[in-house]
Amino acid sequence: MNGLPAGAFNPVTGKLLTELSGRKAKVEKQSYDQVLNVVANGSVYFNYTPPAGELWRLKLLRIYVPAPASATSGEHEVSVVLDSDGNNYHNGVIFLKSGYAGAISSFYNVIEIASLNKIPATEIAQMQAMQNIVATNAQPFSINYINRTNVTQSQTAIIRMVREVEYIV
């Protein structure tokens, strides 16, 4: 019957025994811009934890960190990781690294500026990696910034995301 297995229907009434209940979800956009105050050879971790009962699926992620003003040596980097405890990296998703004079940027889920290193290396892999970020209250994700230059990074990091929020019942 209609391509479904016979056991899916009540043999007496012919009605479908199993029905989809649907899901409750919405799309949200949010800005998480941060004024940085990261000393030379320091780091900061921005954790994104959904409230209990919510599951977030990232659709778009925008990150922009300007070069540290007045730096004359070193490098700086951003990584997006799942399940970070602030000291150890677990399940790295993307990694961007630029020299002291360069910005770091991802736009439309593609690493736009990372003069020294970018992981994943291809645009398709970058887009897939960012769109595969799923977070729950028990499994958050983090954006980590490390300043390995010779000055304090005091610029504003632009962090924007569009996410699908699904309510878990």
Q: What is the pTM of this model?
A: 0.81
pLDDT (tens digit, 9 = 90+) per residue, 79-116?
998 875 555 555 778 999 999 999 999 998 999 999 99
User: Shortest CA distance to 56 belongs to which of 83, 91, 28, 95?
Assistant: 28
Query: How far apart are alpha carbons 117 and 8 in whole angstroms?
Result: 53
In a domain, 9, yes or no: no
Under DSSP, is residue 88 helix (H, G, I), strand (E, B) or coil? Answer: coil
For the segment 33-56, the average pLDDT, to the nearest whole number, is 95
CATH number at residue 92: 2.60.120
pLDDT tier, 63 (very low <50, low <70, confident <90, very high otherwise): very high
The H or E element containing residue 129 is helix 123-131
Mean pLDDT calculated for residue range 137-159:
95
In the DSSP assignment, the letter for residue 67 is: P
Q: What domain range includes position 39?
A: 24-167
- The DSSP H or E segment spanning 31 is strand 25-31
Nearest to 142 by CA among 64, 75, 76, 89: 89
Is pLDDT above 90 for 18? no
